[in-house]
Structure 1
Amino acid sequence: MIVDLDLQIATESIPLPSQSDFEQWAALALSGYRSEAELTIRLVDAAESQQLNHQYRGKDKATNVLSFPFQNPPGLTLPLIGDLVICAAVVEQEAVEQSKTPQAHWAHMVIHGCLHLLGFDHIKDDDAEEMEQLEITLLAKLGFNNPYLTDAE
């Protein structure tokens, strides 16, 4: 799996995962579907996330990850799959709230976003179950626990 990743850092949050971490996570998520992929991952602050979430989803709050799939024009085949915008502050906050390591939650957000770029969705229950199971399986390959388990489970 060849991943050409444009990592854009537009946040002051530190520490952040490395370029190679992001490449590994994206490659894992995309490997069963593409032999090569080109994508951008932009790491942003809460203000930029909120603005984009409001503009594109009508929700006036920062969110963990936004996915912007690329649609190839008819007759043109490119490895470009799209862009992910990940809010570092939200990911960090959620990791604490959900008792996860930051690294595990970052990996989950990249995998989750890449699956959206491939067309997976979680609006319908059956689709959500399929997507969540795939995320659980992929994260386990990285040595991370099921991200959907709560402390009570």
Structure 2
Amino acid sequence: MNVDLVIEDERWTAVDLGILAGQAAEAVADHLALTPIDGQGVEISLLACDDARIAALNGDFRDKPLPTNVLSWPSEDRAPDQPGGVPHSPSDPELGDIAIAYDICQLEAAAQGKKFSAHVTHLLVHGILHLLGYDHIDDKDAALMEGLEVEILGKMGISDPYEG
């Protein structure tokens, strides 16, 4: 899986976001056994920004003009037919876009007593799963998505983000 990274907030360079994103993307692709589409590898775009930028995006796209940790915009609707079902396989090699905000990620990691890199990796896995059609609105969907996150992160040596 290829990650096209755009860094708007230079603080992200200090945590090697490109490396974290690549590792998260590969872990998701391996776990879900994603295969190339029409001979092309799948790709995501990642915007590394600050709270002000993500608040503007959250306001524009979700009518919630407040900062959030991560946002995602899938390139196509891959939602499953039934709650708790497996989403439809992608037909577009470009899975979509993700934005992640430095400030709120740092605050959350500190408040939860987690390593910043582990928290960011969790949010990247979370965002990539959203691009692939997973969600957490319905309880069955949330159980499936959170279970996948725990399994993927566990294979990466990162503790269950939902414990504690």
TM over 0.5: yes
Identify unmatched segments of 5+ residues in structure 1.
none
| Alpha-carbon distance in structure 2 between the residues aligned to 1:43 and 1:6 | 11
Hey, which of these two has a bigger chunk of strand by percent?
Answer: 1
Aligned pairs, how many? 144
Which residue is 1:41 aligned to? 46
Tell me which amino acid in the other structure corresponds to 2:8.
A
Further displaced range: 85-94 or 18-27: 18-27
Gaps of 5+ in 2: 36-40, 78-90
Q: CA deviation at 1:33?
A: 4.7
Q: How many Å apart are 1:44 and its aligned residue?
A: 0.5
Alignment of structure 1 residues 16-95 onto 2, 5 Å: 16-31=15-30, 32-35=32-35, 36-71=41-76, 77-95=91-109
SS in 1 for 2:11: coil
After superposition, give the CA deviation of every residue in 1:11-64 in whole Å (9 maximum; x if it has no partner): 132522342221111121133152231111110011110000011111121101
Identify the range of structure 1 (6-15 vs 50-59) with the bigger mean alpha-carbon deviation: 6-15
Query: Contact between 2:126 and 2:149, CA under 8 Å: does it hold in 1?
Result: yes
Q: Is the 8 A contact 2:27 2:156 kept in 1?
A: no
Spell out structure 1 runs of 4+ moving beyond 4 A: none
CA distance in 2 between partners of 1:107 and 1:86 (Å): 11
Q: Tell me the residue number matched to 2:86.
A: none
Normalising by structure 2, report the TM-score. Answer: 0.82
Computed over aligned residues only, the root mean square deviation of the Cα atoms, in angstroms, reads 1.5
CA distance in 1, matches of 2:62, 2:114: 27
| 1:13 alignment partner, SS class | helix
Q: Verify the 8 A CA contact 1:66 1:85 in the aligned structure 2.
A: yes
Query: 2: distance between equivalents of 1:78 and 1:125?
Result: 28
TM-score (norm 1): 0.88
1:145 aligns with 2:150: no
Would you say the 8 A contact 2:75–2:92 is kept in 1? no
